Amino acid sequence: MWCSSRESMRLFILVALLGLSRAQHNPHTKNGRTAIVHLFEWRWADIAAECERFLGPNGFGGVQISPPNEHIILNNPWRPWWQRYQPISYKLCSRSGTENELKDMITRCNNVGVNIYVDAIINHMCGAGGGEGNHSSCGSWFNAGTKDFPSVPYSGWDFNDNKCKTASGEIENYGDAYQVRDCRLASLLDLALEKDYVRGKLAEYMNVLIDMGVAGFRVDACKHMWPGDMTVVFGCLHNLNTRWFPDGSKPFIYQEVIDMGGESITAKEYFHLGRVTEFKYGAKLGTVFRKWNGEKLCYTRSWGEGWGFMPDGNALVFIDNHDNQRGHGAGGASILTFWDPRLYKMAVGYMLAHPYGVARVMSSFRWNRHFVNGKDENDWLGPPSNADGSTKPVPINPDQTCGDGWVCEHRWRQIKNMAIFRNVVNGQPHSNWWDNQNNQVAFGRGDRGFIVFNNDDWDLNVTLNTGMPGGTYCDVISGQKEGNRCTGKQIQVDNDGRAHFSISNKDEDPFVAIHAESKL
């Protein structure tokens, strides 16, 4: 069972004194793997297969899965993706599959070296307007109006309404930390995490998943929870399952806090608990690659902390996420997504080549966008589904792309190969920077890898010091090494480490990347 708050407080202080409090910052990826991929709304059966047939063989470190717990099922709008952000209980049946399918996926992914990270919704239950009945993914009865969730069980006592001071009961002003944490986010019934009982239920839910073999959690809506309450819940978490992880490993925690500056709550308040999503990263890199606001790629020489981002050891980075790729959450119009594939591939490539942060790749489904006055009226549309609302499987085409509306950005050659690049250069310093004082830049990672971008409107033709050992390398963007042949451009590195690069601004992908394992 769960630990009492006093025990966990003592444990926390002990852990802090021993200097082990950074344990929850480690993703525990296996065998030198690095990148995480968010398989948004995928079914457990498809993720298990993807681990075995693609993620394991291509060196991906882990998968962020959609919330596995019981959620509301909505008819209006019809089965939106965001119904999964409205918990009904901690039973493990969801739109992605059953508890057995979840267990099978966790086991099979771990067995091929791929970790599972769970999207944990612990700030709230369903919306206040969620009604009464059993329109929920395991069929549990609930009543949102009276705040009754017997399958947990939670009752009215377990929610924050008595503490919230706004007239509407909603968060009205993000300048007031009390409102942000004690009032309702978008009408979602706000849990009282100050209560031992609630803390215990949350820890129990997370511990069931840890015992099954997950490696950690993306924790939803952390801005809306008090760090002190979260400290107690996380202090109660088990160590990872020793069938796959070293003895004494703590779950990896990465917290969703959107801190673009200018609010009362800052990301810093959460650093001791685990990593934090760095939302400035994608917003800024999108602005740079789009060349908006006078930004130039050459200014990214000091990319990372030099741009005012959080400390490297705290950051979880991404180009887009499931919210801001469709106008939810934060980041605005500069966010690059699969809808802008040419710039998107460069931005994801840049992220995966750069040492800052733990990197997460997005894998999306396509939907019918319908803009009215600049707003996408279809931003709610759920994953590819059958007429009864069940999610469609992910079919793999003969050319290895995905069918039925699944985008599978992680399978795009350029992105997959850059995930491998990140593993090959892991631990190497950012080195041998070059730029043309505009939008052509290059940098290396010690003597293990080198990347060159041309985001100008003219050709790049330059000889650069790569820092790499002499030899012929295969560019993993225009092609890749297959056996001992190269399906893309070849790059000749001289014995002094210098190589000539030529990248037309008209190239399909105007960037080139080579690494130690793409040597011919």
Q: Contact residues for Ca ion (CB under 5 A)?
A: 123, 181, 190, 224
Minimal distance, residue 121 CB to Ca ion, in Å: 11
* CA 18 vs CA 22, 23, 75, 302, 483: distances in Å: 10, 11, 51, 33, 49
Contact 37, 363 (CB under 8 A): yes
210 binds ligand QV4 (CB under 6 A): no
Give the one residue of 15, 112, 186, 208 binding ligand QV4; rule: CB under 6 A.
186
DSSP string for residues in 177-227: HHHHHHSBSTTEEEB-TTSHHHHHHHHHHHHHHHHHT--EEEETTGGGS-H
Q: Which of 162, 163, 180 is nearest to 171 (CA)?
A: 180
Whether the bond between 246 and the residue before it is cis, its omega within 30 degrees of 0, is no
* Residue 514 three-state SS: strand
Tell me how far, at minimum, the Cβ of 258 lies from ligand QV4, in Å: 5
- Greatest pairwise CA separation for the chain in angstroms: 74
Report the C-alpha gap between 72 and 83 in whole angstroms.
Answer: 6
User: By C-beta, is 268 or 328 nearer to ligand QV4?
Assistant: 328
* Min dist. Cβ of residue 148 to ligand QV4 (A): 17
Q: Which entry of ligand QV4, Ca ion, none binds 190, CB below 5 to 8 A by partner kind?
A: Ca ion
Which residue type does 469 have? P
In single-letter form, the type of residue at position 516 comes to A
Whether omega before 153 lies within 30 degrees of 0, making that bond cis, reads yes
255 binds ligand QV4 per the rule CB under 6 A: no
Q: Determine phi and psi for 494, rounding to 5 degrees.
A: -75, 170
| Helix/strand/coil percentages in the chain, nearest 5 | 30, 20, 50
323 binds ligand QV4 (CB under 6 A): yes
Which one, 74 or 240, has the nearer CB to ligand QV4?
74
What is the total count of residues that contact ligand QV4 (CB under 6 A)?
Answer: 20
CA torsion angle 258 260 263 268 (round to 10): 70
The residues in 476-515 that bind ligand QV4, with binding defined as CB under 6 A, are: none
Asked if 220 touches ligand QV4 (CB under 6 A), the answer is yes
Cβ-proximal residue to ligand QV4, closest one? 127
Q: Which of 327, 329, 341, 446 binds ligand QV4 (CB under 6 A)?
A: 329
Active site includes 220?
yes
The catalytic position among 41, 50, 119, 220 is 220
Q: CB under 8 Å to 246, separation ≥6 — which residues?
A: none
As to burial, measured by CB atoms within 10 angstroms (0-12 exposed, 13-18 middle, 19+ buried), residue 129 is exposed
The DSSP element (H or E) to which 444 belongs, if any, is: strand 440-445
Instruction: Select the binding partner of residue 127 from Ca ion, ligand QV4, none (C-beta < 5 to 8 A, by kind).
Output: ligand QV4
Catalytic residue among 46, 50, 158, 256: 256
Q: Near ligand QV4 by CB under 6 A, which window of 33-41, 183-191, 267-275, 470-478? A: 183-191
Shortest CB 71 distance to ligand QV4, Å: 9
Nearest distance, CB of residue 503 and ligand QV4, angstroms? 36
Q: Is 256 a catalytic residue?
A: yes
221 binds ligand QV4 (CB under 6 A): yes
Name the segment binding ligand QV4 (CB under 6 A); options: 79-87, 91-99, 461-469, 489-497: 79-87
Q: How many Cβ atoms sit within 10 Å of the Cβ of residue 23?
A: 18
- Our CB check for ligand QV4 shows the closer of 143 and 472 to be 143
Rounded to a whole number of angstroms, the CA Rg of the chain reads 23
Select the binding partner of residue 323 from ligand QV4, Ca ion, none (C-beta < 5 to 8 A, by kind).
ligand QV4
By CB under 6 A, which span of 102-110, 156-164, 203-211, 325-333 interacts with ligand QV4? Answer: 325-333
Under the binding rule (CB under 6 A), the answer on residue 229 touching ligand QV4 is no
Min separation Cβ 151 and ligand QV4, Å: 19
481 forms bridges with which residues in the sheet? 486
Question: What single-letter amino acid sits at 156?
Answer: G
Its sign, for the CA torsion 373, 374, 380, 384, is: positive
Indicate which of Ca ion, ligand QV4, none lies near residue 223 (CB less than 5 to 8 Å, by partner kind).
ligand QV4
Q: Which positions from 362 through 401 interact with ligand QV4, judged by CB under 6 A? A: none
For residue 225, the minimal CB distance to Ca ion (Å) is 5
Does 328 sit near ligand QV4 (CB under 6 A)? yes
Using CB distances below 5 to 8 A depending on partner kind, what does residue 51 bind out of Ca ion, ligand QV4, none?
Answer: none
Verify binding: residue 326, ligand QV4, rule CB under 6 A: no
The CA distance from 187 to 169, in Å, is 8
The entry of ligand QV4, Ca ion, none near residue 25 (CB within 5 to 8 angstroms by kind) is none
Kindly state whether residue 144 participates in binding ligand QV4, applying the rule CB under 6 A.
Answer: no
Nearest to 39 by CA among 29, 28, 50: 50
Q: Which residues contact 410 (CB under 8 A, 6 or more apart)?
A: 37, 39, 55, 60, 361, 363, 416, 419
Ramachandran angles phi, psi of 336, nearest 5°:
-90, 140
Q: How far is the CB of 451 from ligand QV4 (least distance, A)?
A: 30
Point out which residues pair with 361 in neighbouring strands: 37
Q: Give the span between the Cα atoms of 377 and 50, in whole angstroms.
A: 32
Binder of residue 230, out of ligand QV4, Ca ion, none (CB less than 5 to 8 A by kind)? none
Which of ligand QV4, Ca ion, none does residue 229 bind (CB under 5 to 8 Å by kind)? none
The tally of CA atoms less than 13 A away on the side-chain side of residue 507 is 23
Considering only 101, 182, 256, 509, the residue that binds ligand QV4 (CB under 6 A) is 256
Which residues form the catalytic set? 220, 256
Q: Contact positions toward ligand QV4, by CB under 6 A?
A: 82, 85-86, 121, 127, 129, 170, 185-188, 220-221, 223, 256, 258, 323, 328-330
